[in-house]
Amino acid sequence: MPHSERTPNLLLIVADDLGWSDLGAFGGEIDTPHLDALVARGQRWSNFHASPVCSTTRAMLMTGCDHHEVGLGNLVELMTPEQQGKPGYEGYLNGRAATVAQRLRAGGYLTAMSGKWHLGVGGESPPDRAGFERSFALLQGEHNHFGHDQTAENAGFHGVSQYRRNGQAIDYPVGGYSSDVFADEMIGFIDEARDDTRPWFGYLAFTAPHCPLQAPRHLVDRYRGRYDAGPAALRASRLERMRGLGLSTAEAVPAEIRGLTPWEDLPEADRRLESRKMEIYAAMVEAMDAAIGRVLAALERTGRLADTTIVFLSDNGPSGTLREELPGWRDWIQAHADNRLANLGEANSYVSIGPSWAQAQAAPFSLFKRYTTEGGIRTCALACGPGIQQRTENPAFLHVMDLAPTLLEWANIDSAPPPGRIAMRGRSAAGLLNGTAHELHGDAHAMAWELAYGRAIRRGPWKAVYLPPGVRKIAAEIPVRQWQLFHTASDPGETRDLAEQESGTLRELVAAWHAYAQEVGVVLEPGAAE
């Protein structure tokens, strides 16, 4: 049923570890017609920022608050002994902030979610206690994309995957592909609400293209040979397409691909393996796009699409971590996965995309998921529908915390916190997105990040970055435990460290970062330099 402009339907779609340039509308070669069409009737956000990893981004997305304030100070899987048990590091939504779903539901919306939750099982998690009237949720952060990990003998290294429908434990339909299953569940919720006169809020959270790299074989076959020239060639071709699209970042000096072995120096067997991994990855992205298309068709069939504002984003940059080389994971994969070339992509295989492809996907930005460089936190995002001005590109700085207050303004719901809850840090971008405002965060406003002892802070055109020692696994020459300074307005690739030339600016930013850390309760790395 159509709704007034003051109460649009809202659809929030999140991809998992999607690369900056994977979509066709951002310069990619992957077939993504449905998402590209959304850009064509709305706008792409070329300066959107999230957290370096998935659950911390999702915590901010759901609350509009900093993730340290609401219980996800660090990714649970990365929590250190110093952080465990500290306030803000509970590992689940701790109830200090109301979720956007709770606020929308209280304001008269029907609320539904399908997909990855990864916000814990205690406190106000899972989603049925976090404001969602209808929900189908994977509680953990990853799973087998065909559902072959729900028994002890088949469980992955992460354990048995847990699924809940409306709070009740259920079995995943084994053999169904994740993007299709999550879309089917959301379509079911849409059909159930056909005669419900309330405005509708849907949260669709895919696990694609998060590892393990698995996809329907017929889709993988569509990309055979597409990536045989290697990561550097892929990056070059994508940058060329970005220039053709007129993306504002396309003329930037791209970051170096760190730790890259020249493609021609790899043994032929390794090149075949790497090419196949990227073929599977591309198939995962195409399958997600097709699933989104079916959800949009369901909204149109039920008369809701024209009145639905849609926001799509990736939760962080592409993932460059090779699970096959991590202690514990390596042993499990060797014992349980069939990673012969001919079997890659099947339900019993387990490979990840790796740092070279991830850096190509993040170009022109530096590094990838887990790090506070632009490649880890600057993600592809787009929007269309009521309240969204149709334009090619919106280059204004936006943060994932801004989405919750924006959704509330679109819904005509007061964003002031309910009694006993903390206020949002994000700012409504409604005016920016409808063309009545030109910026949301002015040059005087600082935005800071911290994840697993990595740090960053941005103010206007300047950004300071502090990387943890683990980044040296990528390349030994990367500076760690020291502040670097970049003028990201002119150097989004973070290629020129201006810490010495602009020492006064750096001191101001570092002081502002420490004020932020104290305010939100960051647990600092023991013995780390200030």
Contact indicator for 239, 347 with CB cutoff of 8 Å: no
Contact indicator for 437, 114 with CB cutoff of 8 Å: no
Render 382-435 in DSSP notation, one character per residue: EEESTT----SEE-S-EEGGGHHHHHHHHTT---SPPTTSPPP-S---HHHHHT
Q: Which of 3, 49, 54, 143 is catalytic?
A: 54
Q: Is 118 a catalytic residue?
A: yes
Task: Report how far residue 379's alpha carbon sits from residue 523's, in angstroms, rounded to the nearest whole number.
Answer: 26
Nearest to 70 by CA among 127, 106, 123: 123
Q: Which CA distances in Å does 94 have to 59, 124, 352, 383, 526?
A: 10, 7, 32, 30, 25
Q: Which two tokens stand for residue 128?
A: 């049925």
Task: Report how far residue 61's alpha carbon sits from residue 65's, in angstroms, rounded to the nearest whole number.
Answer: 8
Q: Which of 49, 118, 145, 399 is catalytic?
A: 118
For residue 456, the cross-strand partners are 449, 465
- Within 111-174, residue ranges assigned H as helices are none
Task: Report how far residue 134's alpha carbon sits from residue 201's, in angstroms, rounded to the nearest whole number.
Answer: 10
In sequence order, the 6+-apart residues with CB closer than 8 A to the CB of 276 are 341, 344, 345
For residue 43, the cross-strand partners are 383
Render 286-317 in DSSP notation, one character per residue: HHHHHHHHHHHHHHHHTT-GGGEEEEEEESSS
Task: Report how far residue 340's alpha carbon sits from residue 361's, in angstroms, rounded to the nearest whole number.
Answer: 25
Task: Report how far residue 153's alpha carbon sits from residue 169's, in angstroms, rounded to the nearest whole number.
Answer: 19
Q: Which two tokens stand for residue 51?
A: 């957290």
CA angle (184, 314, 524) in 5-degree steps: 125
Render 421-473 in DSSP notation, one character per residue: SPPP-S---HHHHHTS-S-SS-TT-EEEEEETTEEEEEETTEEEEE--GGGGG
Q: Is 487 a catalytic residue?
A: no
Catalytically annotated residues? 54, 118
